[in-house]
Structures are given as C-alpha cells and as structure tokens.
A and B are shown apart, each in its own frame.
Chain A
Amino acid sequence: MAAPALFRGFCNLQVLLSWRCGSAWTVAWRRSIQTTASCFKNRAARVRVAKGDKPVTYEQAHPPHFIAHRKGWLSQHTSNLDGEEGAADRTIEDVFIRKFIYGTFHGCLANEAVIKRRANVIVICLVLVQKLPPQKFYFLIGYTETLLSYLYKCPVKMEVQTVDKKIVYKYI
C-alpha cells in the first residue's frame, strides 16, 4: 500500500507495520502505538530484489515516489486535501477493509484492493483470480458488502473483476 503510508503528526498505528512485514523491529502479535515519526522509510512499500525468479505486479514493482507519476492511488477520499479533516479515521477504516478483504478472499486477490469514497458510499474495487467457482464468489461478495455496511453504517458496494491468472509485470 503506497499512498496511505502518510500519517499526519506523530502517532502511527504499528499494527499496520507488523502485519505487513513481521521483521526484526516489531513482534507480529504485539499491538502498540508508535510515537515518533521515524521508521525505515527507504524500505517502505518496496519489494526487495531477488535472483530474478520473483514475479511482481505493476503495483508492487513501483516504489511510492512514483505515485501520481506512474501509479495511481489505492485509497481515494478527500480527507488528505488541504483544509479537510478525518484523515486518521479514513485510514483506519481502510486498513480494516484491506485486512478483511485479504482474509475473506484468501489467495484470490490479483492486486491490492482500491477503495473509493463517493458521498456516503464506500466502493471497493477488486481484481480476483478465478480460484473459486463463481457461486462462491457471489456469496463472498454479498457477505462482505452486508457485513461492512452494518459495521460502517453506510452503503458498501463492491466492483469485482476476475482474471484467470495473476498479472505479472516483471520478474525481480
């Protein structure tokens, strides 16, 4: 996730870091709040180079300084604009939605989920690999929509596209 790694102020939820890369400096199961702004930023949102056998999607291949140049935004809302509030709330909602989607559609995600907010509605756009039969996908989509609607008290819609194999941009 490139764009939502920006936080205002100095309070970062370390839950995100520990899920994403359970490496040396955070224990995966501990939940804590980071109170400084500094962390390993030259390693953030970058897939490390391997021997040439690691397949990588377009999203993963580009580091975060390419956002707005070669990449788009994964999470689109207005709270990061100048003079708008509520950035932290939207970010936490997004983190939860991404984790939920990752768990519900386990192994089927071809790419990161794109979350858009239009007026009251949250639209989650997914590209899925055709791992399960379509009836199961329909059930999971309906289940996600209903559960998240009740959780966030606003309409949640999903726009899903399926692909037969994960789209590889290059091998690192």
Chain B
Amino acid sequence: MVTIPRGLCNVFSRLLRQHQVNRVSPLNYASNNMITACLCKRPVLTLSSGIHLGSPHYATAPLITVTDEPDALYKKISVLVKGHDKTVLDSYEYFATLAAKELNITVDKVYEPAKKIDRMTLLKSIHIFKKHRVQYEMRTHYRCIELKHLTGSTADVYLEYIQRNLPEGVAMEVTKTMLEKLPEHIKEPVWSIHSPKDEGKPD
C-alpha cells in the first residue's frame, strides 16, 4: 500500500502497468509460498459476502491512497549495494539507473568504492608444519548510486521497486538526506528580537 499526493498518480500507474511480474509457479504446494506484491501484480480481488445482493460481490482493494499533506523532500538518496560478485553488481547498477531514468529521477553519480578483502591465515595441517599455511578470503565489492532531488513518494516507489528486485547474495544500504523546514524559534536572530531591551547583552 502506498500513500502518494495527488500529482503522482500517473507515475505510479505507469510503473504498475509496465512491470507486471508474475511469479506463480505451477507446483505451488506450500500455502505460504505466495509473495504478495501489491506493487507488481494485478489488483487483488477480495470476496465480500453478497448476502444482500444474492450473489458474491467482488471489491478491489485500493492500492493507491491519495492525501493532501505536503510530501517529504529528499536532497540526496545514496544507495550502496554490496556483493561478492562484481558482474552481478554491474548488471544491478544498469537496472537501477534504467529504472531511475524511467521515473525521471536525476542520477547524480554512480561510483565504485574500493573492495574490501577479509583474509584469514590458518595452519594447513592439524599437527606441526607451522611454515605451511592456507589463506581464505571473503571479498566484498561495492557500488554506490546517488540520486538527487527526490520527493518522498517517488523515493518510496523507486526504493520499493529496487528492493523487490535485489538479486540473491547482494545487500543494500540506503542513506537519505532530507530537507526540512527551518524551525520557527531559530528563524530570526535572537539579538534583533531583543534589541530594545538590555537583557540580551553579555556583561
């Protein structure tokens, strides 16, 4: 369920129409197998009892609710993905930048922080032979996608789409920098309010 302001209904419906992913396997024995993707499936038809009408009455659950409160504004959203395989991150970066371009989000920069190698040096044999060791390592590759000037609802939609399509073995960290209105009590400098009185001056 996504809450969006009035102006962005068409963006959301365009995303829904374009990316209809159906992941229903024919051998679906476990009942708790279904991933209910409100974002990426057709609207779920819920059965409500049609006692008064004499027949079952189907109602579609609303996927989009529209509100009038002002939307949150993000100055910068930085999406850091990490994984063991660099080619997987390459293809994921292509997918994320393509999705951002579809939603008209400005991509500030896409860069690759240095990889981190976590190495362990262990003895090769169970008894003696101290000079012969074996090294194991775990490599973590990074990729950072920075997006500029987003609204809250666009950010929600984009991030949800990105996260539902994260490949296995890849982790993501999202940092959001939000713009907020300046609080009332620090809008005016203190000395301009209290200038006719002498209390504000230091001794």
Contacts and interface: CB of A to CB of B under 8 A. Distances in A.
Interface in B7-31: 25, 27, 29-30
- Contact residue range for chain B? 20 to 34
A83 B171 CA distance: 10
A6 B119 CA distance: 11
Interface stretch (A50-58, A99-107, A142-150): A142-150
Given A73-B84, A81-B83, A81-B84, A155 B171 contact: no
14 contacts: A25-B126, A37-B120, A37-B122, A41-B124, A68-B84, A80-B138, A81-B140, A84-B171, A116-B169, A117-B169, A142-B29, A145-B29, A156-B30, A159-B25
Contact of B122 (A38, A120, A123, A159): A38
Interface string A33-48: 0001111111000000
Q: With a 10 A CB-CB cut-off, give which of A41, A76, A81, A142 has the most chain B CB atoms.
A: A81
Given A77-B168, A118-B168, A149 B126 contact: no
A123 B33 CA distance: 11
Interface of B: 25, 27, 29-30, 32-35, 82-85, 116, 118, 120, 122-126, 134, 136, 138-140, 164, 166-171
Interface residues of A, number: 38
Contacts of B30: 142, 145-146, 149, 155-156
A141 B123 contact: no
Given A81-B84, A146-B30, 5 more contacts: A80-B84, A81-B138, A82-B140, A83-B82, A156-B33
